[in-house]
């Protein structure tokens, strides 16, 4: 899609697993005060197909070129959903970035373990982050009170979603930016850098935990603005 070099004003944000969209309020406020039209998708975390469908419904309501943003698991979601014709650029926020035909689980192969990021799986196949290691693994740079709220309001994910291959890789023909939290304990740092480099993303490193969307909203918002200002001229 051509934007004739104009700044893109639509932004759609997709939260990751174990959280919902409310943690993005700081990013939302910073973008909307600059005139961006921001929508936050509340994905059900029941399957890749369901999460992509929820994202597509919101994309269908946009009135033109859009920057699509995803955190963590939602990197997989935006990789698939980002082929929507209105999506002009992608922003991966400490996020997964598989290629077409790959699963989320495959992205971990060959990289180091993350002992502070412990997933407890229920009998029906849904994963919750272990409460004892939640703060260390997910939100190490938050206060104890904020970490407790995130822990106690977490949204479980259907673990089978991680073994579902994506059919499309939107990053192959759309410019991408990657905001990487250097204190992220949910992923091996080498894994995050590898994925971002493989997709040709412009990489911005931020000193933060996996919950950087909440703890560093200014830094994340700045990258989204950069994407909005430049995606129309890229590639």
How far is 131 from 216, CA to CA, in rounded Å? 23
Tokens, residue 34: 């600059």
**DSSP secondary structure letters along 163-201:** GPPPS--GGGTS-EEEEEETT-SSS-HHHHHHHHHHTTP
Which pLDDT belongs to residue 182? 98
Q: Is the dihedral of CA 54, 35, 24, 204 positive or negative?
A: positive
Of 156, 163, 235, the closest CA to residue 202 belongs to 235
Can you name the residues that pair with 10 across neighbouring β-strands?
37, 66
Distance CA 88, CA 84 (A): 9
pTM score, whole prediction: 0.96
The pLDDT tens digits along the chain (235 residues) read 445 557 899 999 999 999 999 999 999 999 999 999 999 999 999 999 999 999 999 999 999 999 999 999 999 999 999 999 999 999 999 999 999 999 999 999 999 999 999 999 999 999 999 999 999 999 999 999 999 999 999 999 999 999 999 999 999 999 999 999 999 999 999 999 999 999 999 999 999 999 999 999 999 999 999 999 999 876 5
Q: Which tokens in the block code for residue 93?
A: 């926020």
What is the C-alpha to C-alpha distance for residues 106 and 131, in angstroms, rounded to an integer? Answer: 26
Beta bridge partners of 128: 120
Quick one: pLDDT at residue 88? 98
What is the C-alpha to C-alpha distance for residues 227 and 137, in angstroms, rounded to an integer?
A: 28
Check residue 1 and give its pLDDT: 44
- Quick one: pLDDT at residue 233? 79
Phi-psi bin for 19: left (phi > 0), alpha (psi -120 to 50), beta? Answer: beta
C-alpha 158/C-alpha 72 separation (Å) is 15
Q: What counts of helices (H) and strands (E) characterise the chain? A: 8, 9
Closest listed residue to residue 84, CA positions, set 100, 97, 73, 68 = 68
Q: What is the dihedral angle through the alpha carbons of 153, 137, 164, 203, rounded to the nearest 10 degrees?
A: 110
């Amino acid at each position: 899609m051509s934007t004739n070099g104009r700044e893109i004003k639509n932004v759609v944000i997709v939260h990751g697993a174990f959280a919902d969209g409310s943690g993005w309020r700081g990013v939302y406020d910073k973008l909307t005060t600059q005139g961006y039209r921001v929508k936050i998708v509340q994905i059900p975390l029941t399957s890749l197909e369901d999460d992509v469908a929820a994202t597509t419904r919101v994309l269908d309501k946009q009135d033109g070129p859009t920057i699509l943003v995803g955190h963590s698991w939602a990197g997989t979601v935006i990789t698939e959903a980002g082929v929507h014709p209105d999506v002009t650029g992608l922003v991966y926020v400490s996020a997964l970035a598989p290629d077409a035909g790959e699963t989320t689980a495959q992205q971990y192969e060959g990289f180091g373990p993350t002992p502070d990021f412990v997933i407890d799986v229920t009998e029906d196949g849904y994963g919750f982050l272990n409460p004892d290691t939640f703060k260390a693994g997910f939100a190490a740079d938050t206060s104890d009170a904020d970490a407790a709220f995130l822990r106690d309001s977490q949204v479980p994910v259907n673990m089978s979603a991680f073994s579902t291959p994506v059919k499309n890789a939107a990053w192959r023909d759309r410019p991408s930016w990657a905001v990487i939290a250097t204190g992220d304990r949910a992923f091996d740092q080498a894994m995050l850098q590898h994925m971002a480099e493989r997709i040709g993303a412009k990489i911005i490193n931020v000193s933060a935990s996996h919950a950087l969307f909440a703890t560093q909203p200014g830094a994340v918002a700045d990258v989204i603005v950069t994407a909005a200002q430049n995606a129309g001229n890229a590639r």
